[in-house]
Amino acid sequence: METIRDAPVADTSSTSSVIKLSGVEKVYRTGRVEYPALRGVDLEVASGELVAVVGPSGSGKSTILNVITGIDRPTAGRVVVTGRNLADLDEEALAEWRGTHVGIVFQFFQLLPTLTALENVMLPLDFARSGSIPERAEQALSQLKLVGLEDKPGNFPAELSGGEQQRVAIARALACNPDVLVADEPTGNLDTDTAAEMFDVLDSVSSEGTTIVYVTHDPDLAARAHRVVSIRDGLVVDGTRP
């Protein structure tokens, strides 16, 4: 099995781009039915850039996030993230790479109901075996503090509001200090004031060098990005250049 340390030398064809998609297509198949979600996407995102992805429902926004993280393999094209051509990584190596370099905020939280807020945020650190257990707990608590939940580390997801659960999900995504953070509607379950506060967190993380790509339907939050990328019918129609 290939591991990260044995993987091919990093791709340096575009050293200024942390994310580079070239001619990316993605076709989903159900029986004989095919649905082309992406139809040839070219996209580059620079280090520390904060990019909003916008477009109508079904346009391919979430699929772009999935191919950037390696959750979905493209049907055609090339995906290079943090210098790695993701096609060179098998599933085990891809999972290891993702755990080290990528944070993900899912649209519907995906918190484990039997774990506390603190334990949910610790999960990426546990998988990465980063430091001792007390050190992981301290790091996780600092991330909860960052999102304003330092007073609820012992609460289970069912004891938190939807907005609080989303904040835990954001804290978890940031736990390993990833190079790249992708977020699918990261503020969609927050009220206006809390959404603005959470965006301030993302903006601060971006200013420290983390590359962030997020999907949003909120035009006000999209306008706060460094760049807005518009998707329609599986194609980037605006915002392709850093």
Q: Return the domain boundaries, the chain.
A: 4-112+162-238
- 120 CB contacts (<8 Å, ≥6 apart)? 111, 112, 157, 168, 172
- Do residues 41 and 236 make contact, with C-beta atoms less than 8 angstroms apart? yes
DSSP string covering 218-238:
-HHHHHTSSEEEEEETTEEEE
pLDDT at position 54 is: 95
Q: What is the DSSP letter of 135?
A: H
pLDDT at position 241 is: 56
Full-model pTM: 0.86
pLDDT at position 3 is: 39
Q: Distance (Å, rounded) from C-alpha 98 to C-alpha 125?
A: 12
C-alpha closest to that of 168 among 199, 154, 147: 147
Residue 166, both tokens: 């989303």
pLDDT at position 99 is: 87
pLDDT at position 38 is: 96
For the structural domain made of 4-112+162-238, what CATH number should be given?
3.40.50.300
CA distances from 142 to 108, 145, 153, 171, 237 (A): 23, 5, 10, 9, 39
pLDDT along the chain (242 residues), means of 10: 39 67 95 93 94 94 95 96 95 90 87 96 88 92 92 96 87 93 86 82 88 92 93 88 54
Q: In what order do the strands lie in the sheet with 227-232?
A: 102-105, 180-184, 211-215, 50-54, 227-232, 235-238
Tens of pLDDT, residues 8-26: 444 434 447 999 999 999 9
